[in-house]
Structure 1
Amino acid sequence: MSDAALIDRTQLPRPDVTAQDASDILQLFYALEGVVSELGSQQDRNFRIDTDTDRFVLKVCRTEYATVEIEAQNAALRHVAKKPDAPRVPRVIPAHDDQDLIFVSVRDVTYQVRLLEYLDGEQLTRSKHLSLDAVQELGALGGRLAAALSDFDHPGLDRVLQWDLRRAGPVTLTLLSDMKDQVARERIAKVMVSAIRRIQPLAGALRVQPIHHDVTDDNVVSRIDSNGRLIPYGVIDFGDVVRGWVVADLAVTCASLLHHADGDPYYILPAVKAFHGQFPLNDQELKALWPLVVARAGILVASSERQLAIEPDNAYVRDNIEHEREIFETALSVPFAVMEEAISQAVAATAPASMPSTLGRLLPGVDPATIRFVDLGVLSPHFLAGEWSDPGIEEEVLADVADDEGGAATRYGEYRLARTVVRSPNAAETYALHVDLRLPGGTEIVAPFDGRLERNGERVVLVGDGLDLHLFGMANLHGIGVRVARGEPLGTVSAGQGARAGILRVQLCRESSIEPPLFVRPGHAAAWSSLCPSPSIVLGMECDAPRPASEALLERRQQNFARPQKNYYAAPPQIERGWREHMFDITGRSYLDMVNNVTIVGHGHPRLARAVSRQWSLLNTNSRFHYAGVAEFSERLTALAPEGLDTVFLVNSGSEANDLALRLAWAYTGAKNMLCLLEGYHGWTVASDAVSTSVADNPRALETRPDWVHPIASPNTYRGEFRGADATAAYVETAHRALDKLEERNEQLAGIICESVYGNAGGIPLPSGYLEKVYAMVRARGGVCIADEVQVGYGRLGHHFWGFDQQNVVPDIITVAKGMGNGHPLGAVITRRDIAEAFEKEGYFFSSAGGSPVSCAVGMAVLDIMEDEALQENARTVGDYLKERLESLGEQFPLIGAVHGMGLYLGVEFVRDRETLAPATAETAAICRRLLDLGVIMQPTGDHLNVLKIKPPLCLTKDSADFFAEMLGKALAEGW
């Protein structure tokens, strides 16, 4: 068949067959009845049939398509089904006369009809985002299918198919001939020419075999795994099966992934690696893969535009065309050579590229020993506080480091902090592919290799044989468009004016067709570094930044750091810096910190740093010495507490604070029995762990409590035993019954410990009036009331400084920690004098870091910052705003069961069913991983680990609240 005949066939409309027609065919030829609904298709008609027991797909095709081709599809399905390692494929269901393919007339037009098994599952195309596991499995599935088809044969495979990438060039150009948008037509044509030129020299080495040629997100079916993610397991629609290039099969899969890639073509690499692991590709196939992906993208767009012109009401094509346009744009977003290199690296097929052996010095008059290298990375000492974000900071630092006797230089391959972008769903372009040198104006520049000198805007490029030199900041050029020999002068360093005066930028590139960027994303760095090697080889000095070794560092952690001390995430980013509500990993990736309630005033606060530095320079010791800080800080704390709570113990942590509070209760009452709430968490010491009942923190919590601990019902009005208007009385009654049991056994009560707001369960407020009634009952029996404010107090609720204020009660003992030291080991117990002095019966109390001069300086600085920056008020206003935004998301997404909390202690609870409240545990974990990819640090909490625990620094801005809500919405809308 000629290309023209092929195109004529593609102009045919779909068969004129309705759902009723399909129902009639099913009854007459297959003796089946059921509900018939049409499925999408570009040129066939497909119908799903739901009977009482099974599902099928009826496929109706025009007779212009050769019968032998359709028979080949059926044969391929049967062949693959026999392979033990192949993906699942539909069974072919014969008609009543035992024929796989029948001919049926509908309104005097004859069509080819067949029936297939319907594979249950979801299509990946419906999820905008696909998890790494899904991408990998899609690639592996394609590789297994290619292996299964490798020994298949049928005469119907030798067909002319518009999608056959061996014919991509002429088919696309023919498709474009009727395209009315001239600009778009010329753009697609130009891209296709470039792609075909890269494919043609490799074509002879590309293996040919039977291939599916349409393993796409549309044509695989997926199941939801235990983590709530779609994972493909089966392949449908063998309509494009053909004898073709095996690498074209993978190219089709990769192209389909690009509309899930959020603009990042590197997204396909896990699929490439997985396919290669199942069905290894040769070097030429790996090199041809990306041009074939681009060719596929061009065909998709051109074909859909043409089909819409023929059939404007084809909803399937209309719905898909935006995806196809996105595929095309993403495919064009990176040079061919870069993706070819990235693909080669992904399957470990890249050998180190050789460099020219005769390279001279670019700056022969500069003594390398006089050059000082500047650290502009994440750990740079030059960036105090938030100075890394100041415009022009890199040039300023470079100028400051340079002096009259020598110069200064930046480092190649450094992840620049100043290049990060906060509140971004994508990693910023932080990796430097160049070196900047600050040198005296007039410093001579000579050619390090033979080449031709050209100008490209501000760039001066020395084009050599396999290596180009890109220079910025030159003056006195010795000619443009002329040949230059190695060692000949090129010009001088520009003296210039302003911040960039005397700065020469140096960059190398192996590809003359590329204008290399100065910075690239960390995930793209390896491929770009291969194409743009370090300028060290022409500068005669080692100017490379040290490479991060995050994986090795994680291994060291796991070898020497006890494993029960878990880290967030299975593959955690290496976080090394923070600023306000932002954290930065070692590659300069910015994350919005929405979980770190330890740093209440924000990361890297300069005022706090100065206070600590000053006190360390003066004195740090323990609280048994006499100094002003401990008295002043204790006064500040008691002034914040309700009247009567006038005595302070300073400790190291919240666990220690709660442990001490329990011991105070025992000492004061002479009893040991303690009430606590189910789902609560209070710490890791023996005593504080004993009253912690959260099974999320300790799966054996409920079966290992000592006999002095008496957990009572969790007053969780969302998913607890009692809900609604009568919940308070019902939960109070559970406490009453526990107290009655103690009285029946003639046992005394020491008290009750609970969080004033259910922090560990996700910021759930206690029922109105609950603590007032329970505290009264406890005190009536001689017990004391401990308010654990470690997580929820200290201004975090915005509307109240202490959580117990929301319940209109005053406890006997307050415990606080975490935020009061902004990450410094600092906690406190605030109580009455008589309770505190009762402890002396057991001896004195001492905590090494608690109350030290540095700890006191930290504590007072935090309080000063909170007051001066109105952080409690910010927690109220921004927290209320954020809660409204989260509640709005709850109206859009049924997965959100409730939004708990107030201020900047919020919880978003995910449920699979709003009636049964079945917890969406796996989905919550997957959403947290997805949020990390989008630049948000978030973790699950609650006994079911189905609540997002939202407790950011109190300096959180409205912009950051918006970003969090938007990224959560993006995850919920696109998938995880």
Structure 2
Amino acid sequence: MDHAFLRRTELPRPDVTAEDSAALFASHYRLSGPVMELGSQQDRNYRIDAPEGRFVLKICRADYAMIELEAQNAALRHIANRPGAPSVPRVLSSSDGLEIVPVQLRGEDYQLRLLDFIEGEQLTRRKHLPAVTVAALGSLGGRLAAALSDFDHPGLTRDLQWDLRRAQPVVHHLLSAVQDQRQKTRIAEAVDAAMARLEPLMADLRLQAIHHDVTDDNVVSHLTEGGQFLPFGVIDFGDVVHGWLVADLAVTCASLLHHADGDPFVILPAVQAFHEVFPLNRAELRALWPLVVARAAVLVASSEQQLALDPDNTYVSGNIGHERMILDVALSVPFSLMETAIVQATGQAVEAAIAGGPLFPGVNSGDFAVIALDPQSALFDGKGLPRPDIEDALLREAAFGRATATRYGEYRLTRTISPSPRPPESLALFVDLLLPAGTEVAAPFDGVVAIREGHLCLKGKKATLHLDGLQVPLDFPEPVRQGEAIGIVGDISAGAGRSRLRVQLCRDPDILPPLFARPDHAAAWAALCPSPKKLLGFDCDAPAAESAALLQRRQAHFARPQKNYYAEPPQIERGWREFLVDVEGRTYLDMVNNVTILGHGHPRLAEAVHRQWQRLNTNSRFHYAAVAEFSERLAALAPDGLDTVFLVNSGSEANDLALRLAWAASDARNMLCLLEGYHGWSVASDAVSTSIADNPRALTTRPDWVHPVMSPNTYRGPFRGPGSTRDYVAAVAPVLEDLDAKGQGLAGFICECVYGNAGGIPLPPGYLQQVYAMVRARGGLCIADEVQVGYGRLGHHFWGFEQQQVVPDIITIAKGMGNGHPLGAVITTRAIADALEKEGYFFSSAGGSPVSCVVGMTVLDIMQDERLQENACVVGDHLKRRLEALGQRFPLVGAVHGMGLYLGLEFVRDRETLVPATEETAAICDRLLQLGVIMQPTGDYLNVLKIKPPLCLSRENADFFVDMLERVLSEGW
């Protein structure tokens, strides 16, 4: 083969400085202005900011034929005229009317071209690219390929080191510059394996004009309001060539791998989007991953060689770390896995299940008992998050003298990891069996046997059977025929006990498959490692996940105003302490669930509920001890004089009842409330709720008895600083004076003593003291809504009103007091409570039931015994300090509100104007979910993270939350 073209790979960049380029701009294009060098591997690119606009001067050596440069220019013009094609630069002529200008500098011949500069962001330095960006990059590549599909030019037929058809000779040539022998061998083996895999596919790979360099470095993107990048334009046509169509996509996919956090599946949205625009055939889909590996090998070998030639090339030295990472990720998985995943991503079918004869001809398949180890298995109830080492014990406990099996395709709870930014490898790709020692195992199909360290492989035509736990004979016939004995289970000399056998199938004979796969890789691994049920003779498969169908059923019958978290929510079916677990075995740190104040799955609470429900559960009109005891304990928690308790089922009911009490006790109707507040969903509690995040029409639909006053928001409101209390109190006066002038009475004032829905913002010092006095002077009652912020959550105080040093007339509570059980309460004075009798009696069917009262008392006992309020104080203060430290690094962080474990992290686009970062906050929450943290926005602008986890949150898990948030803010979302 003629390797003349490889000599160009040994050329350093043109010796042209910024000063030289300024002179070239002036003499050939009559442009002047500041000049800045742009990166390039073998050319020189300089940008000039001239009065006429921004332009890029491209300088290459004369070794590149004129016809090649003409082909690049022609391609740019061709694409610019294609509807739907990406944006590309325009080619501009010199003052002499030339598109390609030959020049000589210091005895070297160069060629100049001038392009206009496309404004936009490049993706190279963005560590994380969300799926929407990856898909947009794939779509852009597909549209570019479509635009070039009818383009031709004589200059496209050229020898190019980046042409993946030549990857093998190019890499072997370049490897002479690699000093590390181990690395040299690794790269050579990678490209050889890739090309061997491509060989049988080459005849079906289509050829056309391709850009061959649509990478994160060569596209420009615009930034959405949510802080995500969407590519719209393509630059640098230096590698345009007549080549394999699928190679264009392979180059794009390879560039994504240094944004992948080690996960090669990150390319799949790009593959799917490209395929939707410009469909690939089956051979091209199978060829894609080998071409990605080949591209990775070319990149690393080329950069190593270029640095040897040009050690001062900062562009190459800055990128080589990325390129090494690309190769590492490309080689981290088998070819067969990625080929399968790519085919699946484009909606094409994979091979069917593996059939064969019985594996245990002497065992009746009906004798097997199958156990479940998934997150919904009753085996784990009340036991926390199990460890993997209990699987064998659970299998043996379930046997009861029978042959026993685990399930294939099951997401095992035993494999969960908490906390973790990555999904666990939880899907079982095998079946474990507990069988009588000595059970004979037969070959289910013809094959060749290999034994390695007690692991038996039977390699057949369509699959390899992997068995662990066999006693095998010393010799096997070659080949083994279907039905012939290949061993016995366990050691028969040990007696009549039961032994464990692991059974796994794999279509790829060249790999030892993993036992478990992470959920986002599960479909591809399951296709490679199908169920062995046809060999076992019984159904060992776990039911397929139906989360998407279940969500559709929810949406079909569950009223739409009852929203769910996230557009694509995980299906949560188990919890433990501050963790939630989905059906795929993924554990999430729950940083938003203020309902479960003790944490999830508390065994002591579950036992108390179980015990009471077995005895009695009825309504509070019956006489039983629990309602008296719980009422007494609640009254003891309140300030002196607040000694009378109503028991209800929710915060909405509690606030609704509090309003009725204020009306009854005052003989008035008018109520004051705060703007930005939220108090519930019932008619009365909704009437005094003014948060537009919960009700966009809140400010225009209040009944005439509701009188909202200015929100005393000391961060975002009109008054800030030490004197804000006076100003916010003064803003209440006109409303009261207007009521006085009209001769209308005042029933009362309701507010959260720490602004809950606004993100835990404390009221200005002394605010409630003065407003309470103004309300009481007019005969009104003061209601403290402690539903979200009270009950020990603030850490430093049990009640929110303690922070303001006031005593309300009515306290409302719910949420945490039942740890998720429907339980709420109103605490007030006997006189206020008795005032309700003139309107009739009060009754809540389930409020104050025996079970509810036992729940409430058990929660209080556990809070005291586990010192949860103290934990909220200590861990909450630590968490707040760490969140405040983020504000020193990231301008998006506007403020950290709240105290204890009721905190709000407010995001703003500008710290002076406080423009809310609403879209960014939503995207950050979605990214946190990917990293294993449950978080949601709050506030009127939905730009505040509402941080209110279970009070058992550990310091270590608080740190995990901040670490993940810091990662998102650093890497992007």
Q: TM-score range by the shorter chain?
A: over 0.9
Deviations 1:359-392 (Å, cap 9, x if unpaired)?
Answer: 2111122222221110101100000234442352
Q: Match for residue 545 of structure 1?
A: 542
Q: Distance in 2 between matches of 1:99 and 1:962?
A: 61
Q: Distance in 1 between matches of 2:49 and 2:206?
A: 41
Query: Structure 1 residue 790 and structure 2 residue 780: aligned?
Result: no
Query: Structure 1 residue 779 and structure 2 residue 776: aligned?
Result: yes
* Matched residue type, 1:800: H
> The residue matched to 2:888 in structure 1 has which SS?
helix
Asked if 2 retains the 8 angstrom alpha-carbon contact of 1:434 and 1:507, the reply is yes
Which segments of 5 or more consecutive residues in structure 2 lack a partner in the other structure? none
Query: Structure 1 residue 373 and structure 2 residue 370: aligned?
Result: yes
Q: Match for residue 271 of structure 1?
A: 270
> The residue matched to 1:930 in structure 2 has which SS?
helix
Q: 1:436 aligns with which of 432, 436, 442?
A: 432
Per the TM alignment, residue 495 of structure 1 is displaced from its structure 2 partner at its CA by 4.6
Asked if 1 retains the 8 angstrom alpha-carbon contact of 2:693 and 2:938, the reply is yes
Q: Distance in 2 between matches of 1:480 and 1:743?
A: 102
Query: Structure 1 residue 915 and structure 2 residue 912: aligned?
Result: yes
Asked if 2 retains the 8 angstrom alpha-carbon contact of 1:385 and 1:579, the reply is no
Q: 2:509 aligns with which of 498, 507, 512?
A: 512
Q: Match for residue 348 of structure 1?
A: 347
Q: 2:469 aligns with which of 465, 473, 488?
A: 473
Q: Match for residue 227 of structure 1?
A: 226
Q: Match for residue 607 of structure 1?
A: 604
> The residue matched to 2:379 in structure 1 has which SS?
coil
Asked if 1 retains the 8 angstrom alpha-carbon contact of 2:439 and 2:489, the reply is yes
Per the TM alignment, residue 719 of structure 1 is displaced from its structure 2 partner at its CA by 1.0
Q: Match for residue 246 of structure 1?
A: 245
Q: Match for residue 147 of structure 2?
A: 148
Q: Match for residue 492 of structure 1?
A: 488
Asked if 1 retains the 8 angstrom alpha-carbon contact of 2:749 and 2:782, the reply is yes
Q: Match for residue 120 of structure 1?
A: 119
Asked if 2 retains the 8 angstrom alpha-carbon contact of 1:386 and 1:579, the reply is no
Q: Matched residues, percent identical?
A: 66
Q: 1:573 aligns with which of 570, 574, 579?
A: 570
Q: Distance in 2 between matches of 1:220 and 1:318?
A: 20
Q: Distance in 2 between matches of 1:749 and 1:31?
A: 78
> The residue matched to 1:888 in structure 2 has which SS?
helix
Asked if 2 retains the 8 angstrom alpha-carbon contact of 1:166 and 1:244, the reply is yes
Q: 1:896 aligns with which of 885, 893, 896?
A: 893
> How high is the TM-score relative to the length of structure 2?
0.98
> The residue matched to 1:710 in structure 2 has which SS?
strand
Deviations 1:235-256 (Å, cap 9, x if unpaired)?
Answer: 1111110110000000000001
* Matched residue type, 1:477: P
Deviations 1:912-967 (Å, cap 9, x if unpaired)?
Answer: 11111111001000101111111111100001110001011111111211111111
Deviations 1:865-911 (Å, cap 9, x if unpaired)?
Answer: 11111111111111111111111111111111111111111111111
- Judging changes above 3 Å, is the alpha-carbon distance between structure 1 residues 624 and 807 closer, same or farther for their aligned structure 2 residues? same
* Matched residue type, 2:551: L
Query: Structure 1 residue 334 and structure 2 residue 333: aligned?
Result: yes
Per the TM alignment, residue 60 of structure 1 is displaced from its structure 2 partner at its CA by 1.3
Deviations 1:816-843 (Å, cap 9, x if unpaired)?
Answer: 1011111111101111111111111111
* Matched residue type, 1:325: R
Show the 5 A alignment for 1:954-969. Answer: 954-969=951-966
Q: Match for residue 35 of structure 2?
A: 36
Asked if 2 retains the 8 angstrom alpha-carbon contact of 1:580 and 1:605, the reply is yes
> The residue matched to 2:47 in structure 1 has which SS?
strand
Q: Distance in 2 between matches of 1:478 and 1:342?
A: 39
Q: Which moved more, 1:208-217 or 1:957-966?
A: 957-966
Asked if 2 retains the 8 angstrom alpha-carbon contact of 1:454 and 1:481, the reply is no
Q: Distance in 2 between matches of 1:799 and 1:542?
A: 56
Query: Structure 1 residue 832 and structure 2 residue 826: aligned?
Result: no
Per the TM alignment, residue 481 of structure 1 is displaced from its structure 2 partner at its CA by 8.0
Q: Distance in 2 between matches of 1:375 and 1:764?
A: 46
Show the 5 A alignment for 1:60-99. Answer: 60-99=59-98
Asked if 1 retains the 8 angstrom alpha-carbon contact of 2:504 and 2:529, the reply is yes
Q: Distance in 2 between matches of 1:458 and 1:879?
A: 52
* Matched residue type, 2:919: A
* Matched residue type, 1:54: G
Q: Distance in 2 between matches of 1:129 and 1:607?
A: 42
Q: Distance in 2 between matches of 1:512 and 1:456?
A: 14
Asked if 2 retains the 8 angstrom alpha-carbon contact of 1:398 and 1:408, the reply is yes
Query: Structure 1 residue 325 and structure 2 residue 321: aligned?
Result: no
Asked if 1 retains the 8 angstrom alpha-carbon contact of 2:591 and 2:933, the reply is yes
Asked if 2 retains the 8 angstrom alpha-carbon contact of 1:374 and 1:401, the reply is yes
Q: Distance in 2 between matches of 1:745 and 1:234?
A: 65
Asked if 2 retains the 8 angstrom alpha-carbon contact of 1:478 and 1:491, the reply is no
Q: Which moved more, 1:885-894 or 1:686-695?
A: 885-894
Asked if 1 retains the 8 angstrom alpha-carbon contact of 2:434 and 2:501, the reply is yes
Q: Match for residue 48 of structure 1?
A: 47
Per the TM alignment, residue 67 of structure 1 is displaced from its structure 2 partner at its CA by 1.7
Q: Match for residue 260 of structure 1?
A: 259
Q: 1:556 aligns with which of 553, 556, 570?
A: 553
Asked if 2 retains the 8 angstrom alpha-carbon contact of 1:818 and 1:826, the reply is yes
Q: Distance in 2 between matches of 1:767 and 1:40?
A: 53
Deviations 1:770-826 (Å, cap 9, x if unpaired)?
Answer: 111111111111111111111111111111111111111111111110111111111
Q: Match for residue 102 of structure 2?
A: 103
- Judging changes above 3 Å, is the alpha-carbon distance between structure 1 residues 607 and 477 closer, same or farther for their aligned structure 2 residues? farther
> The residue matched to 1:891 in structure 2 has which SS?
coil
* Matched residue type, 1:352: E
Q: Distance in 2 between matches of 1:918 and 1:815?
A: 34
Per the TM alignment, residue 709 of structure 1 is displaced from its structure 2 partner at its CA by 0.9
Q: Match for residue 740 of structure 1?
A: 737
Q: Distance in 2 between matches of 1:124 and 1:917?
A: 28
Q: Match for residue 416 of structure 1?
A: 412
**Count of residues in correspondence between the two structures:** 971
| CA-atom RMSD in angstroms | 1.5
Per the TM alignment, residue 336 of structure 1 is displaced from its structure 2 partner at its CA by 0.3
Q: Distance in 1 between matches of 2:765 and 2:385?
A: 47
Asked if 1 retains the 8 angstrom alpha-carbon contact of 2:13 and 2:44, the reply is yes
> How high is the TM-score relative to the length of structure 1?
0.98
Q: Distance in 2 between matches of 1:847 and 1:908?
A: 37
* Matched residue type, 2:441: I
Show the 5 A alignment for 1:857-896. Answer: 857-896=854-893
Q: Match for residue 630 of structure 1?
A: 627
- Judging changes above 3 Å, is the alpha-carbon distance between structure 1 residues 687 and 455 closer, same or farther for their aligned structure 2 residues? same
Q: Distance in 2 between matches of 1:19 and 1:650?
A: 78
Asked if 2 retains the 8 angstrom alpha-carbon contact of 1:471 and 1:504, the reply is yes
Query: Structure 1 residue 129 and structure 2 residue 125: aligned?
Result: no
Q: Distance in 2 between matches of 1:349 and 1:417?
A: 31
The runs of at least 4 aligned residues of structure 1 exceeding 4 Å deviation read: 495-498
Q: 1:853 aligns with which of 850, 853, 861?
A: 850
> The residue matched to 1:322 in structure 2 has which SS?
helix
